[in-house]
Structure 1
Amino acid sequence: MPTWESGPAAVSVVVTACAAGERLTALLAAICAQRPAPLEILMVDNRPATSGVAELVRRLDRPEVRYVPQPRKGLSRARNAGLAAARAAVVAFTDDDVEPADDWLAQLAAPFADPSVACVTGMIVPVRVRTPAERWFQQFGGYAKGERMRRFTLESAVREGLYPYRAGRFGSGANLAFRRETLIAVGGFEETLGAGTRAGGGEDLDIFLTVLRAGHTLVYQPAARVAHPSHPEYRQLRRQLFGYGVGLSATMTKRFLTCAPDRRAMLRSADAAARYLLSGGSPKNRGREADYPKTLIAAELAGVLLGPPAYLWSRASRPWRCVALRADR
């Protein structure tokens, strides 16, 4: 079976989950079947007392799948636990409910041949678009970021309005990879953000901004594809878009309070950001059709308003970091 050897081209895959199920079983099998195969798969269990993930890994009986329990709640904490346990030079992260293409990992790892690249994101396509809610999510923007490979650096700011703060511009947390030493050097994922915190999301945008601010290059690689299910029901979608609003403004609040260059940039672009968010003709909103519910717009904006206090609450209640990140493994 072809595989990456332990070295600069080796890849560890981190999967985080709170419950065992058919989708997770299928995902692990699909990752094991990638060609070349990953050096290891870190199955991080964020609810080890009740999830059944440990038993699933035992039944799978694959030596490349390593079980990593992380009882402290939070997606960013779980990802950092996987990062700390990883042994490969490149660490890929994905969700527990995606369906990767056969060459997903090879395509995701390919841009790292360029030593300036520190992060690569891939394309996320919908598993299906059948219900009105699934169609509205695509009108909202969906997960896919286009068919063209793109390179991003901080200097890209001279070419794009609101760069680099447009949510989702670079990709999403369900399909991304980093050089392990770079991700550790910048502190890993922000544990006051992400699912399982009061902020609810935004950890992917935050780490993208951190990597760019550190002078590295990010590549969007559309050939690295996974399929991701969308919520089929209106209420689920409304809750999701509310969470997106919270996560976006929580992340912007974090950046404003902790990064002086971001603070100055946000103050300069405040009017443009408001137009982007609220104008029906902005790149964010012009894809909506006539039947797009106004209640979904209201839910997202309500989340945006609640994001700053949500971040402050999350930061005030933050425990000490659970996992020490070390590059010398």
Structure 2
Amino acid sequence: MKAHAPYQITHLALENQGFTLPHLTTQEQGNYLVFWWDQLALGHLFLAPNSEISPETYPALVLKAIQPAIDHYATSIGAPADWIHKFKPEEPQQWVSWLEKIIAPQLPASVPAQVKVSVVICTRNRAPQLERCLAMLRDLKCLPREVIVVDNAPSDSSTQQVAQKFEEVTYVKEPRPGLDFARNTGVKNASTPLVAFVDDDVVVHPLWVYRVWETFQNPCTAAMTGLVIASELASEAQYIFEQHWSFNRGYQDKWYDDAFFNSNLTLGPPVWEIGAGANMAFRKAVFEQVGYFDEILDVGAAGCNGDSEMWFRILAHGLTVHYNPRAIVHHEHRRELSGLKKQIFFYMRGFTAAALLQQQQQPRANYKRRLGRVFPKYYLFLALRGFPFYRNRTSTLWAEMKGILSGYRYYRKNWQNSSVSPNGISPSKSKPKAEKVLTPLP
């Protein structure tokens, strides 16, 4: 079997690069191009290994990739939406001038040095990744008021030792294993009105904290998610994940509200489309209204989906979640197929358990129909399509199916232990004491 060719990620600044074809190595290598204008990511393009692309055909590919984002930003300021038909490759400066006017309203005139945001990092025995993450947060253009490291059931003191190197960091030890235990501990120790979560292995954009804070200037926003861009596509597992399980939700703003919720009750609202837990934030007050993360979900328990179950409850209460593509992080996917299959198993296990818990909260959300009718047909189709090799999309097929069955079993055994009552509210718990609290940012 032919070895999988790696994909090289190249970030292109259109205000500098324009529509000039960059030098790309295509022999035995694919290319993943991400297009930017200043601080805004506008779209991406996969180019398969050994693909031929010419300077004449390249501009059309770029335009197709960025059109949804440009349409979105143009519409937001009342500019004509037929811009693409007026584009002339031989007159790039005219297009550049027009696009600068479209993008300008999205760029901050000034950025405060610090905003009232608490950044929570839930981690366990990953000292090198954590240290890089904390160093990166310290160098942002706009700093959070505080950074909270939640050390989740550690087996050593390495996380605490790293946190102690950063005077602005609050260290909290959460002895109970499970991501949602750690998330709830982070929320309860936060002292600002906004709580943002980021994984310890992501690279955040210099304006990430500012964009999080900016999102909540709309009083109707209860929670938000942001754009997650792959930081590496060197292995087959990383390519499969980005193609079929990507955290990237696009380059346009999206608002999820009660209209989205109610219009999707037939098969259960697809709240997993809202974003990724690696880049999300909440008003702290929303936890008092809808409850905390359900602690029988996510790592150490069901597997995953504590974040999407929380978004479900927020929407069920008539509140709004905003996907803001200007709040950007870069995520490194798992490199090995074995690790990917394990990850997808827990995704589907957590998805199934969360869906059944959500059905329990809101009987009109017909997740049972999705699980009992739609999924069997879908997986039969995938099984037939992938036979007999099961590569690419179908390489994780059996892990997915096992995860769904495991999620059913987990739910039946544990649903009564859910920290969320049938009306979608989880009881408040006393604020845990930080094992060690260091001086927060002034």
Give the alignment's TM-score, normalised by structure 2. 0.64
Q: Unaligned stretches of 5+ in structure 2?
A: 1-111, 420-425, 433-442
2:299 matched to 1:188? no
- Look up the equivalent residue of 1:25 and give its one-letter code: E
1:122 to partner: Cα distance: 0.6
1:292 to partner: Cα distance: 1.2
Whether the 8 Å CA contact 2:267–2:369 is kept in 1: the answer is no
Whether the 8 Å CA contact 2:271–2:312 is kept in 1: the answer is no
2:138 matched to 1:32? yes
Structure number with bigger Rg: 2
Q: Identity percentage over the alignment? A: 27
Which of 379, 382, 385 lines up with 1:278 in the alignment? Answer: 379
Mapped to 1, the partners of 2:415 and 2:270 lie a distance apart of 23
2:232 matched to 1:128? yes
Mapped to 2, the partners of 1:160 and 1:314 lie a distance apart of 26
Whether the 8 Å CA contact 2:294–2:418 is kept in 1: the answer is no
Mapped to 2, the partners of 1:268 and 1:55 lie a distance apart of 49
1:312 to partner: Cα distance: 3.5
1:175 to partner: Cα distance: 0.5
Q: Unaligned stretches of 5+ in structure 1?
A: 5-9
2:410 matched to 1:299? no
If asked which structure has higher relative contact order (CA below 8 Å, sep 6+), I would say: 1
Mapped to 1, the partners of 2:396 and 2:340 lie a distance apart of 8
Whether the 8 Å CA contact 1:184–1:325 is kept in 2: the answer is no
- Look up the equivalent residue of 1:153 and give its one-letter code: D
CA 1:232/1:314 → structure 2, altered by over 3 Å: closer, same or farther? same
- Look up the equivalent residue of 2:132 and give its one-letter code: A
CA 1:277/1:120 → structure 2, altered by over 3 Å: closer, same or farther? farther
Give the alignment's TM-score, normalised by structure 1. 0.85
Whether the 8 Å CA contact 1:193–1:247 is kept in 2: the answer is yes
The answer for the alignment partner of 1:7 in structure 2 is: none
2:413 matched to 1:313? yes
State the SS of the aligned residue for 2:299.
coil
Where do 1:2-13 residues align within 5 Å? 2-4=113-115, 10-13=116-119
State the SS of the aligned residue for 1:261.
coil
Indicate the RMSD between aligned Cα atoms, in angstroms: 2.9
- Look up the equivalent residue of 1:93 and give its one-letter code: F
Where do 1:213-292 residues align within 5 Å? 213-262=316-365, 265-266=366-367, 273-274=374-375, 277-278=378-379, 291-292=391-392
CA 1:267/1:193 → structure 2, altered by over 3 Å: closer, same or farther? closer
Whether the 8 Å CA contact 2:261–2:269 is kept in 1: the answer is no
Mapped to 2, the partners of 1:35 and 1:163 lie a distance apart of 43
Whether the 8 Å CA contact 2:261–2:315 is kept in 1: the answer is no
Mapped to 1, the partners of 2:212 and 2:281 lie a distance apart of 7
- Look up the equivalent residue of 1:310 and give its one-letter code: Y
After alignment, is 37-46 or 269-278 more displaced?
A: 269-278
Whether the 8 Å CA contact 2:261–2:316 is kept in 1: the answer is no
1:160 to partner: Cα distance: 6.2
CA 1:128/1:114 → structure 2, altered by over 3 Å: closer, same or farther? same
The answer for the alignment partner of 1:80 in structure 2 is: 184
Aligned length: 311
1:310 to partner: Cα distance: 1.4
1:222 to partner: Cα distance: 1.0
